Amino acid sequence: MAIDGLRTSGDILTMKIVTWNLERRKVTSAAGLIASEHLHSQAPEFMFLTETRTDFPQHDGHMAFGNHPGSYFAESERKVAIWSKYPLEQIDPVGDPRLPPNRYVSALANTPTGKLRAICVCIPWHMANVRFGDKNKKPWQSHIEFLELLPEVLNRFSEPIIIAGDFNQRIPRVKGGHIAAAEAMQLCFEGYDIVSEGTIAKLARPGIDHIALSSEFACLDVFGWSNIVKDKKVSDHDGAGCEVKVSF
């Protein structure tokens, strides 16, 4: 039985999830248009978007955005956003005031079979606040601090959780990868299944856009796509997606 495009069976919901960093592309640009069309063509139930814009085409969906990232960015820019096929409630663009700001948004989705928590993150890159921003951090410091605080936020929720976005780290750690950052990532997501780890089929490299699922989810399929779509580079990231079933 399908309800509003959702695939349901009893108290189990099967759905598609995608995530992609859109590299701050304007929706009106050729690259921005191709990117949004590609994402919608996947017919997902959820999109987790990073480095995106508030005018991202919603079509028949609903969106939750993180806070504006600051004066360096255009008014429409956001580091994190969630797109959903159904209404979102309890939207929280902070999570915890100790988190590096503007890189978190969560929302509660009331699906036909139960409630789940959707969380989009843009974990700070390794040079965050080293050359820009506060300029008082060491490389990887902001990244690790985010990962150390995030479990406190996640532990507040009782619903099944999808957390996805730009993790700014290849998982598992590749040769030359930062050991402390990799260890912090592993500890942060203990008990979660990061289904996008490694090199996804049909892609040439491990990605840094990831999807992590709490234990209520079972992953049925993982897929990805190149940052080059229709012979045009539309992002500096490859995208990732999965099909899952979740039990409530």
Question: For 88-116, what is each residue's pLDDT tens digit?
Answer: 999 999 999 999 899 999 999 999 889 99
| Residue corresponding to tokens 């590749």 | 174
pLDDT at 15 over 60: yes
pLDDT of amino acid 75? 97
pLDDT at 9 over 60: no
pLDDT of amino acid 136? 85
Residue bearing the bigger pLDDT, 32 or 135: 32
pLDDT of amino acid 128? 92
How many residues does the structure list for the chain?
A: 248
Q: Judge contact between 13 and 114, C-beta under 8 A.
A: yes
pLDDT band at 4 (very low <50, low <70, confident <90, very high): very low
pLDDT of amino acid 1? 30
Q: Are strands 114-122 and 161-166 parallel, antiparallel or unpaired?
A: parallel
What is the rounded distance in angstroms from the CA atom of residue 240 to the CA atom of residue 245? 17
User: 198-227 burial, b if ≥16 CB within 10 A, otherwise e?
Assistant: eebeebeebbbbbbbbbebbeeeebbbbeb
pLDDT of amino acid 7? 58
Q: Can you tell me whether residue 128 is helix, strand or coil?
A: coil
Mean pLDDT of the chain: 94
What is the rounded distance in angstroms from the CA atom of residue 65 to the CA atom of residue 84? 12
Mean pLDDT of 78-90: 96
What is the rounded distance in angstroms from the CA atom of residue 168 to the CA atom of residue 235? 14
Task: Output the six-digit token pair for 87.
Answer: 């209404």
Mean pLDDT of 186-193: 98
pLDDT of amino acid 24? 98
Indicate whether this model's pTM tops 0.85.
yes
What is the rounded distance in angstroms from the CA atom of residue 36 to the CA atom of residue 92? 24
Mean pLDDT of 163-182: 97
Strand ranges across the sheet with 114-122 = 88-92, 104-111, 114-122, 161-166, 209-213, 193-194
CATH of 16-239, one of 2.40.420.20, 3.30.70.270, 3.60.10.10, 1.10.10.10: 3.60.10.10
Q: Are strands 12-21 and 46-53 parallel, antiparallel or unpaired?
A: parallel
Task: Give the tens place of pLDDT for each residue, 44-77.
Answer: 999 999 999 999 999 999 999 999 999 899 999 9
pLDDT of amino acid 135? 74
